[in-house]
Amino acid sequence: MTSLAAFRTSIVAAAALALSACGINSVPAAEEAAKAKWADVEAAFQERANLVPNLEQIVMSSAEQERETLQSVIQARASATRPEIQLDGDDLGDADKMAQYQEAQNTFGGALSRLMANVEAYPELRSQENFGRFMTQIEGQENRIRVAIRDYNEAVRQYNTTIRTFPDTIGANIIHGAEPMVPYEAVTQGAEVAPTLDMRSDSDTAN
Amino acid sequence: MLESLERDTLAQLVVVTTPSLDGFSIADYSIALGRGWGIGHRERNDGLLLVVAPNERKMRIEVGYGLEGTVDDVFAADVIEGMKPFFQNADFDGGVSYGVSRLSDRVRQNGYRKAA
C-alpha cells in the first residue's frame, strides 16, 4: 500500500517534471517578457514624439527659413504616431507590420537627425536656450530608444530560442502554437550588441 | 557623502573612473556597468552612476528609471558642463566632487523617498 502511494507520488512528480520541461511555463514566460520589452520600445518612441510640441513652439518664434526643416520633422512625427502604425504585443510575429512600424520611426528619426545637423547653419536657433534643452532631451531619448530596442531584441532571441529548442518546443508547438517573433532591426550602428564588460576584474582592483 | 545620501534618500550614487572604455561608447559602457553592478534598488531603480573616462575625455551620468524625473537629461547635461572646467584645469578631484554634490543636492531637494 505504501509502496503504491509512493509509486503514485513518483508518477505525479515525474509528470510534473515532464510537463514543466516541455515549455508549458517557459514559453508563455518568454513571450510575456518579450512583449513587456516591446512595450518599453513603444513607450520610448512615444516619448520622443511627445518632445516635438516643444519644438513647434520654438519654430513659431524663429525665422522663416528655419521652418521648412522643422516642418518635415513635424510631418514625420504625425506619420509615425498614426494609430494604424502602432504595433501591439500580439502582432510581434508579423514581419510586415514590424517593417511598417520601423519605417515610420526611421523616417521620423531621420528628419530629427537632419534637423540636428542643419542647426549648425542657424545661429539664431542654436543660441536659443530652449532649443538647446530640446537637443539634450532628444539625445537622451534616442539613447533610451537604443537601449529599449536592444533589450527587446534580446528578449525576442530568448523567446525564439525557447520555442525552437527541445524540450520546450513540444509545448510551444502542441499547446501554445507559438510563432517566432520579429526583432527590431536597428539602423544605428552597434545598437544590436550590448557590450560585455569584465566587471569582476574591475571590482577586484577597486577592492 | 555617498553613504549618507543613500542613508537619507535610499538612492545609490556611484562614481566610476575608468582608464579605458574598451572601445565602447560611454553610453553603452555606463549602462552595462550600471546593470552589471546592479546599482540602485532593483524595484525602485534609483541608481545614479557618474562615469568619468579621463583618457577618452568622456563623462556620463546614467540615471535609473526611478530617478529620471529628478535627474532629467537637461539637468544631467548641465552638471556635465559644469564639471568640464575642472577637468580642463586638471582638477580631477574638484570636478568629481562638483558633480557628486550637485547630483546629491538634487536628489535630497526632491525629497526622494526618505528613509524611515
Domains in chain A: boundaries: 30-192
Measured N-to-C along each axis, helices A95-118 and A26-50 cross at an angle, to the nearest 10 degrees, of 30
Q: Which of B25, B32, B74 sits opposite A133 (nearest CB)?
A: B74
pLDDT digits (tens, 9 = 90+) for B17-30: 999 998 899 999 99
How confident is the model at residue B12, as a pLDDT? 86
- Whether B96 maps to a domain, the answer reads yes
Cell, residue B92: 580631477
Number of structural domains in chain B: 1
Residues from chain A that touch B33, judged by Cβ atoms under 8 A, are 197, 199
CA distance, residue A25 to nearest chain B CA (Å): 24
Q: ipTM surpassing 0.90, yes or no? A: no
Other Cβ atoms less than 10 A from the Cβ of B46: the count is: 25
Q: Which of B25, B36, B73 sits opposite A197 (nearest CB)?
A: B36
**Helix, strand or coil, per DSSP, at residue A172:** helix
How confident is the model at residue B1, as a pLDDT? 67
How confident is the model at residue A24, as a pLDDT? 74
Q: Which of A136, A147, A196 sits opposite B31 (nearest CB)?
A: A147
How confident is the model at residue A169, as a pLDDT? 79
Give, in order, the Cα–Cα distances in Å from B110 to each of A8, A114, B83, B113: 60, 36, 22, 9
Query: Pairing mode, if any, of strands B58-63 and B12-17?
Result: unpaired
Do the Cβ atoms of A190 and B29 come within 8 Å? Answer: no
DSSP conformation letters of B64-116 = -GGGTTTS-HHHHHHHHHHHHHHHHTT-HHHHHHHHHHHHHHHHHHTTTT---
Let me know how long chain B is: 116
Other Cβ atoms less than 10 A from the Cβ of B93: the count is: 8
Helix ranges (H only) for chain A are 2-20, 26-50, 52-60, 64-80, 95-118, 123-126, 129-164, 168-171, 199-206
Residues from chain A that touch B77, judged by Cβ atoms under 8 A, are 136
Residues of chain A falling short of pLDDT 50:
189-192, 199-207
- Whether B116 maps to a domain, the answer reads no
Do the Cβ atoms of B18 and A199 come within 8 Å? Answer: no
How confident is the model at residue B50, as a pLDDT? 95
Residue type at B116? Answer: A
> pLDDT exceeding 90 applies to what percent of chain B?
57
- Whether B115 maps to a domain, the answer reads no
Residue B31 belongs to what H/E stretch? Answer: helix B26-37
Residue B47 belongs to what H/E stretch? Answer: strand B47-53
How confident is the model at residue A98, as a pLDDT? 92
How confident is the model at residue B112, as a pLDDT? 54
- Whether B57 maps to a domain, the answer reads yes
Residues from chain A that touch B58, judged by Cβ atoms under 8 A, are none
Do the Cβ atoms of A139 and B27 come within 8 Å? Answer: no
pLDDT digits (tens, 9 = 90+) for B57-79: 999 999 988 888 889 999 999 99
Gap between the Cα atoms of B72 and B103, Å rounded: 11
Q: Which of A140, A190, A199 sits opposite B36 (nearest CB)?
A: A199
How confident is the model at residue A191, as a pLDDT? 47
- Whether B114 maps to a domain, the answer reads no
B31 vs A: CB within 8 A: yes
Host domain of residue B82: 2-109
How confident is the model at residue A18, as a pLDDT? 59
CATH no. for residue B7? Answer: 3.10.310.50
B32 vs A: CB within 8 A: yes
- Return the residue of B nearest to A131 by Cα: B74
**Helix, strand or coil, per DSSP, at residue A145:** helix
Cβ–Cβ under 8 Å, residues B27 and B60: yes
Residues from chain B that touch A141, judged by Cβ atoms under 8 A, are 73
Architecture in CATH of A30-192:
Up-down Bundle (1.20)
Cβ neighbours of residue B10 closer than 8 Å, sequence gap 6 or more: B41, B44, B46, B112, B113, B114, B115
Do the Cβ atoms of B74 and A136 come within 8 Å? Answer: yes
- Whether B101 maps to a domain, the answer reads yes
Q: Which pTM was predicted?
A: 0.79
